[in-house]
Structure 1
């Protein structure tokens, strides 16, 4: 096997993997699209099974923009959900942290002993 045979084999392997990736992406998009009804999904699937290359080209031309919009919307939703989760976890102020913060204020002289006791009681009530 010469180096050129290897490069030809590698090229065709790349083409095959790329085609498989595109077919899978289109099939996933067909089933995730809420605007398509069941019959339309079935017809697109049949089209993809029997004439895969033509079906992919037609799908990308006809529905490529909405495909990109759905992917962008899903990405934004996932990012928003992650951000909300991080905010909810980071924002939790445990009673221990509140009492510790009040103690630092007491030690620095920013609050009096009675104010410290009130802050401590409030933190323990929310627990």
Structure 2
């Protein structure tokens, strides 16, 4: 450990951090290239080859040329993922896609419970109506 001073250790850690940061940026750009809907296949192939063969220049040129719209593509992808998640939750929440049928079923059960609690329905009537609603 005497042959490796503390300053060299910090320098090595900085180089390691920058190396990982570089790979993160490279993968982010490659992902953005393939996610882009406004580019054709040849454009995507050209940018990918440019970024892989000349990584430093390719990444910098890509950031200058298309970096401003990367954020918009990120937002579009997040919105699509959110929409898909909400759609899945609606489908899983109730019968008939969980839309109006799932919501109306819950409303009907709440109304039945209110009627039973107010004394308008007997326990047997409530149970029959609930069984009919749930089947």
The verdict on a shared fold, with TM-score over 0.5 as the criterion, is: yes
Match of 1:16 in 2: 19
Match of 2:66 in 1: 63
Report SS of the residue matched to 1:40. Answer: helix
Which blocks of at least 5 consecutive residues in structure 2 are unaligned?
none
Q: Considering only aligned residues, what root-mean-square deviation do their CA atoms show, in Å?
A: 3.2
Match of 2:121 in 1: 112
Q: Does 1:102 pair with 2:112?
A: yes
Match of 1:78 in 2: 81
Match of 2:46 in 1: 43
How many residue pairs are counted as aligned between the two chains?
123
User: 10-19 or 47-56, which moves further after superposition?
Assistant: 47-56
Match of 1:2 in 2: 5
* Residue 7 of structure 1: how far off its partner (Å): 0.4
The 2-side partners of 1:19 and 1:64 are apart by 16
Please report the TM-score for the alignment, with normalisation by the length of structure 2.
Answer: 0.72
Which blocks of at least 5 consecutive residues in structure 1 are unaligned?
none
* Residue 99 of structure 1: how far off its partner (Å): 5.9
Please report the TM-score for the alignment, with normalisation by the length of structure 1.
Answer: 0.76
Query: Which has the higher relative contact order, 1 or 2, with Cα contacts under 8 A spaced 6 or more apart?
Result: 1
Q: Does 1:53 pair with 2:92?
A: no
* Residue 80 of structure 1: how far off its partner (Å): 2.5
